[in-house]
Amino acid sequence: MAGPTHYSLPLPEFDKPVRVLIAVAPYYRDIADHLIAGARGMLARAGATHDLIEVPGALELPIALGQAHRMAHFDGYVALGCVIRGETTHYDTVCNDSSRALMLLGLQGACVGNGILTVENHAQALVRADPGQQDKGGGAAAAALHLIALARRWGRPEGKVGFRPASQNILLAGGGEGSSA
């Protein structure tokens, strides 16, 4: 009997360049390297460019992406890392809080692909991270690309930079000739 099938949406196409920030927590370097390779491969297939930064751990990933979203100009973000269950409840805290923080960033308008693996052991992480197997890094990059495409589809056109003529400011304020406003 065959196992379940998984469907992946075709990658979106873009008419303007796409720039993505990949943030990785390389605590498990071998896993991180696989995740990065998968994300880079997926972004390259879509013609996107990327920057790569490293942070100490999974809890720092949403903080770094939040800073970039506020202070830099990226179209989207990919968070990569791995949390392996240990002997304490720290695993639950890191998994829940990093995931929740990434979701909140998304709800604030950031196009975030979550590639933080949460697994029981190193073997599970390898299968999920390897671009030749489950390619979760590539999947996180694809998720960010799809969200970027939606944001561009639904986004409002950017207004002109500069000042409005004084006559428009008066009209917008409800004033006009003979007004004391």
Q: Is residue 7 part of a domain?
A: no
90 an active-site residue? yes
Residue 181 resides in a domain: no
Q: Can you list the positions of beta strands (E) in the chain?
A: 19-24, 49-54, 76-84, 112-119
Give the pLDDT band (50/70/90) at residue 180: very low
- Burial group, residue 96, by CB count within 10 angstroms (0-12, 13-18, 19+): exposed
In a domain, 99, yes or no: yes
- Domain count for the chain, please give it: 1
Average pLDDT over the chain, rounded to whole?
A: 90
Using alpha carbons, select from 13, 47, 52 the residue that is nearest to residue 35: 52
pLDDT at 174 over 60: no
Residue 40 in 3-state DSSP?
helix
Residue 11 lies in a domain: no
Point out the least confidently predicted range of 5-14, 94-103, 114-123.
5-14
User: Does the structure show a pLDDT above 90 at 179?
Assistant: no
Kindly tell me if the per-residue pLDDT of 34 is higher than 60: yes
121 neighbors 84 (Cβ within 8 angstroms): yes
Q: Is 132 contained in some domain?
A: yes
CATH assignment of the domain containing 36: 3.40.50.960
In this prediction the pTM is 0.85
Q: Answer whether residue 115 is part of any domain.
A: yes
Reported confidence tier of residue 165, pLDDT bands at 50, 70, 90: low
**Containing structural domain, residue 79:** 19-172
Quote helix, strand, coil % in the chain, to nearest 5.
45, 15, 40
Ramachandran angles phi, psi of 69, nearest 5° = -65, -35
For residue 6, tell me if it sits in a domain: no
Residue 139 token pair: 């999947």
Q: Which of 50, 90, 122, 146 is catalytic?
A: 90
Spell out the residues 6+ positions from residue 140 whose beta carbon is closer than 8 angstroms to its own. Answer: 35, 39, 78, 79, 80, 113, 114, 115
Does residue 60 contact residue 26 with C-beta atoms inside 8 Å?
Answer: no
- Asked, for residue 66, whether it belongs to a domain, the answer is yes
